Amino acid sequence: MMRYGFIGLGNMGGAILRGMIACGRFPAESVTGFDADARKVRAFAEEAGIKEAKDCAETAEDSDVIILAVKPQQLPGVLAEIAGVNRLTEKLFISIAAGFPIERIVSLLGQPSVSVIRAMPNLNAAVREAITALCQDSPASEEQFETARAVFESVGDVVMLPERQLGVFSAVAGASPAFTFMYADALAMAGVQAGLPRDLSVRIALQAVKGSAVNAVGSSEHLDSLRDRVCSPGGTTIEGVAVLEENGFKGIVMDAIRAVIDKDDMLSGR
């Protein structure tokens, strides 16, 4: 039985772990977990039945696949601790740290032939509706890529991208939930301003956003065509669309994505 180790059980690591267990393909007894906050490890041991580890090295030693789910600034210390573990080249490391290139991970592990795959999931892993990018030029075998794909398919959809495009993906997929929550909140606030109770307005806004996404995913039409279907000539919706266009709605969103990409480039040293 292949064994999986989690180093980091925060929001993202915990979401991926829960998705793996929930999908039924990964038995809880095949998972070892560690977090600097021992309470998180204990909670997952009690909730899901995973094995607790005392540190990063024990987690790596005990596992065939190690999911590195810590913040980028914490990763060098984690990798230094793991570097002395036996049989590193027989293991697969999956890093979800943004802006931390494969070359640096391999260097810090001290093994040029170690197998590392970078993965970029987003917040919606928490509800198993994530979109995750796997770095297609990672140094790993086809079988290891299939293992990584299975892990992240447990929390949503998976796409393959070259490492140089992970920053763009991270901006479009990783940052956009924050923008979407802001948009939904703006819709709800507008409803409140016009007289709707707050709870009802939030419910209406969220269902409208959700329904629109489901509609678009199931359609072969261009997004602009779907928009046009809502805009009757001389009707009410086109008036609102005109205001958004006049105020640079699309341009503002594109500028926000560019700001995220620029920050990721800075963190990556590009």
- Do 15 and 141 lie in one domain? The reply is yes
The DSSP symbol for 50 reads: P
* Per-residue confidence (pLDDT) for residue 269, from 0 to 100: 67
Last residue of a domain, one of 130, 161, 192: 161
Q: Report the pLDDT averaged over residues 147-154.
A: 96
Strand (E) positions, the chain?
Answer: 4-7, 31-34, 51-52, 65-68, 92-95, 115-120, 130-135, 156-161
- Write the pLDDT tens digit of every residue in 7-38: 999 999 999 999 999 999 999 999 999 999 99
| Element (DSSP H or E) covering residue 200 | helix 198-217
Both 22 and 155 in a single domain? yes
Task: Report the alpha-carbon distance of residue 136 to residue 147 in Å, rounded.
Answer: 13
Q: Give the CATH number for residue 56.
A: 3.40.50.720
Last residue of a domain, one of 142, 161, 180: 161
Name the pTM for this structure: 0.87
Domain of 28 in residue numbering reads as 4-161
**161, 187, 216 — which closes off a domain?**
161
Q: Please indicate, yes or no, whether residues 132 and 229 belong to a single structural domain of this protein.
A: no
